[in-house]
A = this chain, B = another copy of it.
Amino acid sequence: MGGHLSGGADAAGPADFEAQARERLDDPTWAWLAGGAADEISLRGNRAAWEALALWPHVLRPLQQAHTRVELLGRTLAAPLLLAPVAYQRLLHPLGEAGSALAAATQGAGVVLSAMSSIALEDVARHVLAEPARGPLWFQLYLSGDRGFDLALVQRAEAAGFEALVLTVDAPVQGVRERERRAGFRLPDGVAAVHFAGAPVPPPPDPAAMCAGLLARAPTWDDVAWLRAQTRLPLLLKGVLRADDARQAAALGAAGLVISNHGGRTLDTVTPTATALPRIADALGGALPLLVDGGIRRGTDVLKAAALGARAVLLGRAPLFALAAAGPQGVAQSLRRLRDELEIALALTGCASLADASRALLEPAQ
């Protein structure tokens, strides 16, 4: 790989953007982007779980009307693809989140902007909302323990035109990011979580307390209920892996769930998302739209996610490898290729739409 690739335009597949990103980024930034928690067992496990699912294609089905459209929270998406919320994208390209989000919007893909964005949410929203082909525009956030600050951020997102909130619930503390630590990753000058510029200073760490006292501010189900009452926007929870938690989220009025293990970046050896997804789908019986992320690289992965009960997928590292390798054009290309692959996967399994992708595509009856 490498020599014949003069740029993103020559990438033959996702591995090419990844290899180019590896070459262009310095070691610490690469460790931050590509690494996972501890021994990276979940990082690899996410990918392996999608790969291990075998497809059983149908043949000779009518495909003339085939399409990749899905409905999601009242909008129609051209394809079930959204950018996952990833922090600090200016580490990868000067345009940062503005670049990746605009590229996604031109492809009809959705955008979930990270609260830790290195570009102000209003700037990202302006770019996305101006794009007629755009998909949904959502804002991801954490609960910081300071309700006033959190509420102000939510109101900024509402005012800027974001259409849903995605509350991340799987990271009350940071994971063991050993690859980053070994590579000496630190945020360079000029890249910051701009929404937190005026944030209240948290109490100093308490070395005697568990997790240095951070858990005193860890959110609970009560905080979710509070947040839901503060906003007119649909509220999704991101980071749910268990059926019991999924039922509780539904009971509390969540508008959807993102089945996620934070891309293998928080707790290592957590179950792969492809394993958790069908259990939650079975538990909820369609009561809520489910999204999933973690290791999705191929159109066949998207099809399998749909077969297991997901309405759409979130894409983290794949488009960001492309952003680092080839800028916003690379992001657009990677999303376009993923959609092309999804079209091919639908056609080659005889599915006229994602609604045809049921569990039987993976576990045929005898």
Contact = CB atoms under 8 A, between A and B. Distances in A.
Interface of A: 1, 4, 12-13, 16, 38-39, 41, 45, 51, 53-64, 66-68, 169-176, 178, 181-182, 184, 210-211, 214-216, 218-221, 223-224, 237, 239-245, 248, 266-272, 275-276, 279, 282-283, 298-300, 304, 341, 343-349, 364-366
A216 B220 CA distance: 52
A171 B45 CA distance: 31
A320 B355 CA distance: 40
A282 B366 CA distance: 8
Given A172-B347, A173-B347, A364-B244, A54 B299 contact: no
Nearest to A174: B344
6 contacts: A13-B182, A38-B298, A60-B223, A63-B172, A210-B347, A243-B365
Given A41-B51, A269-B300, A344-B176, A245 B59 contact: yes
A216 B66 CA distance: 9
Contacts of A60: 169, 219-221, 223-224, 245, 248
Contact of A176 (B1, B63, B341): B341
A28 B215 CA distance: 46
A12 B267 contact: no
A324 B63 CA distance: 38
A366 to B, nearest CB: 6
A276 B41 contact: no
Contacts of A270: 54-57
Contact of A300 (B267, B271, B283): B267
A243 B39 contact: no
A61 B220 contact: yes
A356 to B, nearest CB: 13
